[in-house]
Structure 1
Amino acid sequence: MPRSNFRMQRLFLRQILAEGARIEADRAQANYLVNVLRMASGDRILVFNGRDGEWLASLEVEGRRACRIALEEKTREQVAPTDIDYLFAPLKQARLDYMVQKAVEMGAARLRPVLTQHTQVTRLNLERMEANVIEACEQCGVVAVPSVHEPLPLARLIEGWDVTDPGRLLLFCDEGEESQNPLQALSGIERGPLAVLVGPEGGFSQEERAYLRRQPFVRPIPLGPRVLRADTAAVAVLSVVQAVLGDWV
């Protein structure tokens, strides 16, 4: 798949995208394009909706509060995301924003909050998470927009795994793993549907670690000799997984 043109402004739209379509920008989008970026009629942008690929479009500005987006031609076909779910214990807002953006950049297909014994935050603003997902997609040329899921308790997630995620291997970042080399843990795993689980900043409890290790679909993975913050761990583990089993290969 060709890379996105990073010199052009990208915009996420929820409408169906097709050649010749003229789409009315909502008020927030019109204000951003016309008043913040100071774009004018005839200026071009790239648009995407996570379903119909990426399109070149031109603006039709109607005053300072309204504009239309006229689609011209498709620049990139829609692609399926790498089949990697990112599961995480929710964090406080600023670090959660960062983590969500980085998980999108690293190619996670689905963002799935998990409530553990040491989770500090149990109530999530899913709309804010989705806004961070879209912003990261716009900025980084992502065409396949990751989905955001409702949080689930760890036990409920694991108990229903064979029903909701049959055949998907779960890698959980285990700071108690004796080995420090994640490549050893990934050796011998065939490429296929994966999920990566990062715990809270307090780590998994001993009961949770033992519970996870008893599951036939779970594989523990270390992240080196240093203790990482949960948002840093997201980047670290997704980098390693993408390099060995994902779309970096």
Structure 2
Amino acid sequence: MSRSDPRLYVPASETAFVEGQTVPLLPGQAHYLGNVMRQGVGSPVHVFNERDGEWSAEIAALKKDRGSILLQHREREPMPTQGVELLFAPLKRDATELVIRMGTELGVTRFRPVVTERTNTHRLNLERLGVIATEAAEQCERLDVPEILQPETLRVVLAEWPEDRPLFAALERRPGEEAGLRAAALLIGPEGGFSDAEVEMLRRHSAVHALSLGPLVLRAETAVCAGLARLAAGAEGDA
């Protein structure tokens, strides 16, 4: 695979990918290939999804917002991303989009927005965020696109959270549990942090473990990167 070849996520359909199959492009993908990347019929392209893996292909037809590709052979077998679910309090638009992009690149398997007492926005454009996650997956060469769930309140999420599914929460100025970092999920709070009542609610939940991100107070989007990197390093150290 050449790093210069366009790479597109093509959702799995009822028919599995096979050599010689012609696959239609979405309108946005056809526009991207023809007008942004300046590609034409016969140009190489790579396509992928979580079920079929990654395939080399070439553009079979391309005209304005329509097109198709011809599958050649599979380059990579399907392989689910090994990461954690990210629970985060929605931020302002640009910051939320940055969380989705960086989280996808760092292996987040699912994004779960949680509304806390200090959450400063309750409106999310999930369609737009899905596009950002897809673009990030295409860029970072993972084979799947993380799911983005509808927002729920922190209280509801914790009430339904299984006791045997470790959830690490980034809590400022509190010691972290440094041993056995086999987290299933990471929780990052809003700007201004969790309220005292929320901290107590987290502390009482048997699945929740405190995660230290160092002595400095981080912006929420920075805390996402630091937390994901911390859990990844801990998992590698325990392997």
TM-score (norm 2): 0.92
1:127 paired residue number: 127
Question: Following TM superposition, by how much is the alpha carbon of 1:5 offset from its aligned partner in structure 2, in angstroms?
Answer: 5.0
CA separation of 1:111/1:246 partners in 2, compared to 1, >3 Å: closer, same or farther? farther
Partner of residue 171, structure 1 = 168
Deviation at 1:42, TM superposition (A): 1.2
Alpha-carbon separation, structure 1, partners of 2:237 and 2:20: 33
Cα gap change, 1:142 to 1:5, in 2 (>3 Å): farther
Measured in 1, the distance between the counterparts of 2:118 and 2:233 equals 30
1:234 is aligned to 2:224 = yes
Q: What is the distance in 2 between the residues matched to 1:247 and 1:109? A: 21
The amino acid of 2:101's aligned partner reads: Q
* 2:186 aligned partner: 196
Runs of 4+ in 1 over 6 A off after TM superposition: none
User: Which secondary structure does the structure 1 equivalent of 2:28 belong to?
Assistant: helix
TM-score normalised by structure 1 residue count: 0.89
SS of the aligned residue for 1:186 comes to coil
The alpha-carbon deviation at position 186 of structure 1 amounts to 2.9
Cα distance change on mapping 1:63 and 1:7 into 2, 3 Å: closer
Q: Structure 1 residues 247 and 73, CA, compared in 2 at 3 Å: closer, same or farther?
A: farther
Distance 1:195 1:62, change over 3 A: closer
Q: Which amino acid aligns with 2:50?
A: G
In structure 2, the gaps of 5 or more residues are: none
Distance (whole Å) between structure 1 residues aligned to residue 238 and residue 140 of structure 2: 16
Which deviates more from structure 2 when the two are superposed, residues 63-72 or residues 42-51?
Answer: 63-72
RMSD: 1.9
Q: Could you tell me how far apart the structure 2 residues matched to 1:124 and 1:80 are?
A: 26
Equivalent-residue separation in structure 1 for 2:105 and 2:238 (angstroms): 13
Residues 188 and 28 (structure 1), Cα distance of their counterparts in 2 relative to 1, 3 Å cut: closer
Deviation at 1:245, TM superposition (A): 1.4
Q: Deviations over 1:132-171 (max 9, x none)?
A: 1101001110112211111110111111112xxx521010
Identity %: 36
Does the C-alpha gap of structure 1 residues 188 and 33 become closer, same or farther in structure 2, counting only changes over 3 Å?
Answer: closer
Q: Which amino acid aligns with 2:136?
A: A
Q: 1:22 to 1:160 in 2, by over 3 A?
A: same
Matched, 1:98 2:95: no
Q: Contact 1:242–1:248 (CA<8 Å) still a contact in 2?
A: no
The letter of the residue matching 1:175 is E
Question: For the structure 1 residues 79 and 247, does the alpha-carbon distance in structure 2 shift closer, same or farther, using more than 3 Å as the test?
Answer: farther
| Aligned residue identity for 1:11 | L
Residue of structure 2 equivalent to 1:225 = 215
Count of residues in Structure 1 that have an aligned counterpart in Structure 2: 236
Structure 1 pair 5/215, CA: closer, same or farther in 2 (3 Å)? farther
| Alpha-carbon distance between aligned partners in 1 of 2:54 and 2:236, rounded to the nearest angstrom | 22
The within-5 A match list for 1:64-143 is: 64-143=64-143
Which has the higher mean CA deviation after the structures are superposed, 67-76 or 196-205?
67-76
Q: Distance in 2 between matches of 1:63 and 1:83?
A: 38
SS in 1 for 2:173: coil
1:198-217 alignment runs, 5 A limit: 198-217=188-207
CA distance in 1, matches of 2:2, 2:38: 20
Partners of 1:54 and 1:70 lie apart in 2 by 13
Contact kept? 1:48, 1:55, Cα under 8 Å: yes
Distance in structure 2 (CA, Å) of the matches to 1:155 and 1:5: 47
